[in-house]
Structure formats: structure tokens, C-alpha cells
Amino acid sequence: MLQKVVRSTIIDAPIERVWAVLRDFNSHDQWHDVVEASRIEGDERSDQVGCIRSFTLRDGDRIREQLLTLSDAKHVSTYCIVEATVPLQRYVATVTLKPVTDGNRTFWHWESTFATPPGRERELRDMVAQDVYEAGFANLRRHLQRGADLRASSSGGAATMTTMPTALPMPTRRIAVHRYGDASELHAEDAQASAPEAGEVRIRQRAIGVNYLDVYLRRGWIPHLLPLPGVPGMEAAGSVIDVGSQVTSLMPGDRVAYLGPAPGAYCSVRTVPAAWVVRLPPTIEDDVAAATLLKGITADYLLRDLAHVGPGTRLLVHAAAGGVGQLVCAWARRLGAIVLGTVSNEEKARLARARGCEHVIVTRDYRFADAVQRACGGADVVIDGLGDAARDENLAALARRGHWISLGQASGPLAPLPPDALLAKSLTFSRPVVFDYVTTQVSLAERAQRVWTALADGTLPAPLIERHALAAAAQAHARLESRATTGALVLIA
Amino acid sequence: MVNVYVSTVLNASADTVWSRIRDFNAMPQWHPGIADSRIENDQAADRVGCIRHFHTRDGGMIREQLLALSDFEYSFTYEILESPMGVTNYISTLQLTPVTDGNRCFAEWSAEFECAPGREAELTQHIGQGVFQAGFDALKRAYG
């Protein structure tokens, strides 16, 4: 008769962190006291289904076990004994982890069935239940409390450390561009997320921000930034799977968001420099972070560093109901600016007004200079994502010593601007990019914190988020380019 | 298809918690969001196929049909027949699993459903937090 043993516990750590240890079929000699030494036979990887671990126990017994099932989606590992000096026959065991969503802990269920020689049922059941499973729970708990799972990948001392679970590539689903063109050039494909090297972290992404920059990349307007084949996307939010050496500020399981100067965010798992990454406060959900990080930090450097917006500043914001536009309007208004905005239809006009834009100009043909001059006598600052079609109107809408900040080029790349075009009114022209304002982790964290604070105290409105599945990135791009969206687009991985 | 998943740990054995929640007609006795409940057509509350007809505290009327009940696995599954939430093909399962280490159990409540585009987040929040987590919170209070 088959014996059955079931043991379960709760581990006070996020499931990603517990799974990073348990998914490695060869990790048990690092955390389980009963295991003396273990190796994977035949130079196979420890997450290769079918691989065999050969190990010795402290008491001298030898066991060979084969990995039968490994599911990162369900956090399940099943294995069997193929040969052993202990009389466990037809032994098949399953480790299952489940998230305790209420508290970010982990439920760990460990069960097995096996046969024994007659008369030894109880003895062997107790051995498996107590010496292996219950002791294993306590040992793994201690291993995590010591942070041994985090140190292991950075110690680099022992040769066995090179086979840490987390040192292996992981599958990722990504959206790639193989030919520049319209939204239909975005295609889903399978790829690998490399193990984090020194200074890197690997992130399980849950929400990915969609920005107009991604559209430019896809169209081939900035080919040096997105060589083919390439994966667009500059920002995402999720949780840390594992970290490379020299990463001290982040731990597996941390909820994070990132913003980086190299595209590649349209995927489910990504490895990025830790310097791009900020931890998320509990109040900021993944989709809010992905919808707000790049756009909010853009608003922060525009208003603080570049435009020096304060009481009475006359600020003209194009696409005032867009992702950046809404944030700029709301924040500038709180700083005391006189906010003017352009939008393409009445619905967007209502939204822009609700966000603090006092003078809304509805225009679909990029004509607004007269209205701006009438409303306020000219703008001190123009924040412009329209591009070439609006260039003459922008010059005409500016006041003396005005500052034209060209942020984007939705209508087409900006033609070269002769310096004398600025001379008539002593104008200034800027062409900034957000990544130059977050060049250190400290500056990124400071700016991100100002954005989270502004969201928390109501200075910035909770973003309106339009969600699309990662696989439907093409649909999200088409929506963005149709000018039909209000607020921020987010891909859910 | 939208999926909602909420889980918690309750400080009582699976048997104890199960005896409180297995009755398909007992929601008002443990869930703070439910005002009243009855089983239609005088059927037994543990007869698979029976329909519970209840009102939430905010006045909404909901009819749900029991699709599966397992005393062995400590779980039941039901579907919504009628509700004001605007969900279709809504199927939900509540399951307890003993935690052998201590007098505790692991409770999971999940649902999958379809809804109008754009309402996913709102319904996920309402069902996950307003219904499932609120029920778990009440059970956590009951079992200290």
C-alpha cells in the first residue's frame, strides 16, 4: 500500500524569493541541513526537466532523484527517486508554492507518495515528514532570514555557486520590431532574460508604460536607439526576481519600477541595471507606476529644472489631455502658473479643464497662436509634443524671452530651426530627453519620490489608465496614434 | 477573461473554518457584505445545483448556483446567474488547505469572468477586495 505524507507551512517571504531557491533542483545542499553535497549529473542545468541530482545525506545515505515537472507559472516542482540506499520505493514528491496575497507571504505544500518494505511504513513516513519536510521548512526559513539566498550569487567564492538557480536565463515573452513601420510591425515572440550580472536586477514585469517615444522607435525615426530587431519600451513595473553582485539596495520580492535610456521594456521578464530601478511604496500599484513614472518625472524636470515654472508663469501645454499633458497641467497649476492648453476635441477639452488647464484651445489644424496671444499676451513657456506642423504657430504664440521646449514630434520630425528664428523675440529653444535628468539612482529616486508624493497629496490626479495585454501592443500603439486616447496606456504582462 | 485571486492564512483548522463556510446559505452569518440569503425551491444548501438568492448590504440582489462541493478538498464552486455587477460567465471557487505546521489553514478565493472592456480593474478591485478580502478579513477577526 502506498504511503502518503503531506506537510505544509507559511514562509514569511514573497513567493518569488522562495521560488528562486526551490526551483533550483540542485540548491538543497545549500539550505537543507540533512543534505551533505549535491550535484546535477551530466552537466545538465538544474532547471532542465529530466535532469538528475545525485546527493549524499549527512548520515551517509546516497540518493539519485529526477526532476519530472517544473512550472514557473504554477510554482510547482515534482520529482522522483530513481535510486537510493534508503528503502523508499516508487517515491514521487511535489513541492507547490502559492502566494498569500494578504501579506505577501508564501504557502508551501510538500507531499509525496511511496512504498516501503513491510513493517517499516511508520518509521519511513516519520523520516520523510520530520527529517526531510519539517526540517526543510525550518532550514529554508533560516536560510532566507540570514539572506543566504541573496548573498550566494554575489559571493562568487565557491565553484558550486555558479549553478545558482538565479544564475540561469529565464524565458520571457516579448514584443519585437523586425521592420520599421506601422503598428502591425509589433510581433510577440519568445526570448530569454539573461541572469543578472554585477549591478543588474532581473524583474518580473507586470505593467509596462507606453509612450510616444515607443511609436517613434517603431517607425524607425531614431534607428540608433532601436537597431533591428529591437524591443521598444522604456519603463515598467513589477517585482525583483533576483539580483546580481554589488546590488545592495534591492532584494528579490521588492516591488519596483524602472525607467531607462535603452529600450526593451515590452516583455514579461527583463534584466536591467539597478541604477534604473526605484522601489515602489505600497500605495502605488504596478499599473499606476507604469502609467506615471516616465511621464511624471518628465513633468518634474520640465517644470522644475527647465521651465522654472512659478506663480504667474504663462505656460502653454500642447496635447493637454495626453499622458504628460495632464500631469504638467495639474502640477503647474499647483505651482501657481497660468496654464493654457491645446487639445483636438471637446471631450479632451473637458478633461484638460478638470486637470487645471484654465484656457483650453480646441484645434485639429495646429492653429492656436492668436488665441494664446489674446488670452495672455504670449506664452513664457511652450511644452510642445506636436512637432513640425506647429512650429510657426509656436514661434508666434511665444512672448518675449519665451522658451520653446520641444518634447516630441507627433506630427512629424522637426525641420532644422535657423537660429535667427529665435532672434525676433529673444527666444530659447530646448530639446531635452528625460534620461539626462535621471542619470544617477539618487536623482531618479528623488524625482520618483516627488511624483509619488504629488500623487498621494492630490497635486497630481490619479492617472486614467487604458490597459492592453502585452500581446496586444499593436492595438495600444494604434490607439495612441489615432489621437483617440485620454490619459496613459499600459501593457499588462 | 479576467482572473481574480485572493489568499490568506486563517488561525483555525480547515475543519473548523469549513464547518462555518460550507453551508451555501450561510453567507450572512460570516460575510459582512451580505444582508440575507435563502435557497430557492426549498432545496438543501449542500445539494449541488441549488440556487442561493441573497441581497448585499447595499441592496443588490444576486442569484448564484452551486456547481461543486467537496468536503474532501474543503472547496465549493459556484456561478453567478443574476447580479447587478455586469459580469458574465462568472465562476468562483473558495478553497481551504490545511497548514500542517500549526493549527492554521490556507484559504484561497478566486474567480474568473468576462465584462465590458475597460471595467476589468474596477471589477477586479471590487470582487478581490470588496468581496473576497472583506470576507477573509471577517474570518480572520472571528479566528483571532
Domain boundaries, chain B: 2-142
Query: Does A438 map to a domain?
Result: no
Q: Closest Cα to residue B106, out of A74, A21, A99?
A: A99
Contact of A8 with chain B, judged by CB distance below 8 Å, is answered with yes
- My answer on whether A121 and A176 are in the same domain is no
Our measurement of the distance from residue A99's CA atom to the centroid of its chain's CA atoms, rounded to an integer in Å, reads 20
Q: What is the 3-state secondary structure (H, E, C) of A62-105?
A: EEEEEEEEEECCCCEEEEEEEEECCCCEEEEEEEEEEEECCCCE
Asked if A117 and A29 sit in the same domain, the reply is yes
> Which one-letter amino acid corresponds to residue A357?
C
Q: Model's pTM, two decimal places?
A: 0.54
**Nearest alpha carbon to residue A476 among A172, A181, A179, A183:** A183
CATH number of the domain within which A421 lies:
3.40.50.720
Tens of pLDDT, residues B32-47: 999 999 999 999 999 9
- pLDDT score at A162: 34
Residue given cell 538557480 in the structure block: A165
Q: Does the domain spanning B2-142 belong to CATH 3.30.530.20?
A: yes
Query: Using CA atoms, how far apart are residues A365 and A344, in angstroms rounded to an integer?
Result: 9
**pLDDT per residue as tens, chain A (493 positions):** 899 999 999 998 899 999 999 999 999 999 999 999 999 998 888 999 999 999 999 999 999 999 999 998 899 999 999 999 999 999 999 999 999 998 889 999 999 999 999 999 999 999 999 999 999 999 999 998 877 777 544 333 333 333 344 467 888 999 999 999 999 999 999 999 998 988 999 999 999 999 988 999 999 988 999 999 999 999 999 999 888 888 877 888 889 999 999 999 999 999 999 999 998 988 888 999 999 999 999 999 999 999 999 999 999 999 888 888 999 999 999 999 999 999 988 888 998 999 999 999 998 888 899 999 998 999 999 999 888 888 889 999 999 999 999 987 766 777 888 888 898 899 999 999 899 999 888 899 999 999 998 988 888 888 888 999 999 999 999 998 887 777 789 999 9
* One domain for residues A152 and A250: no
Please report, as a single letter, which amino acid is at residue A125: R
Q: b vs e for A78-100, b when ≥16 Cβ sit within 10 Å of the residue's Cβ? A: bbbbeeeebebeebebbbbbbbb
Q: Is residue A465 part of a domain?
A: no
Cβ atoms A488, A291 nearer than 8 A: yes
CB contact under 8 A, B7 and A8: no
Nearest-CA distance from A189 to chain B in Å?
22
The residues with which A191 forms a beta bridge, in sequence order, are: A172
A219 and A347 co-located in one domain: no
Q: What is the pLDDT of residue A164?
A: 42
Q: Would you say residue A104 lies in a domain?
A: yes
Within 10 angstroms of residue A103's Cβ, the number of other Cβ atoms is 13
Report CB contact under 8 Å: A101, B8: yes
- The reply to whether A335 falls in a domain is yes
Among A213, A414, A382, A224, which Cα is nearest to A295's?
A213
Do A136 and A244 have their domain in common? no
Q: What is the pLDDT of residue A158?
A: 36
Shared domain for A112 and A244, answered yes or no, is: no
pLDDT attached to residue A151: 59
Distance from CA of B33 to the nearest CA of A (A): 19
CATH number for the domain spanning A196: value is 3.90.180.10
Same domain, A346 and A372: yes
Asked if the C-beta of A469 comes within 8 angstroms of chain B's C-beta atoms, the answer is no
Which residue do the cell numbers 513633468 mark? Answer: A299
Q: Distance from A316 to chain B by nearest Cα, in Å? A: 31
Same domain, A133 and A26: yes
Domain extent, residue A15, equals 3-164
Q: Residue A425: inside a domain, yes or no?
A: yes
Residues in A closer than 8 angstroms to B99, CB to CB, are 8-10, 107
Into how many domains does chain A fold? 3
The residue among B100, B104, B136, B143 with the most chain A CBs within 10 A of its CB, best to mutate, is: B100
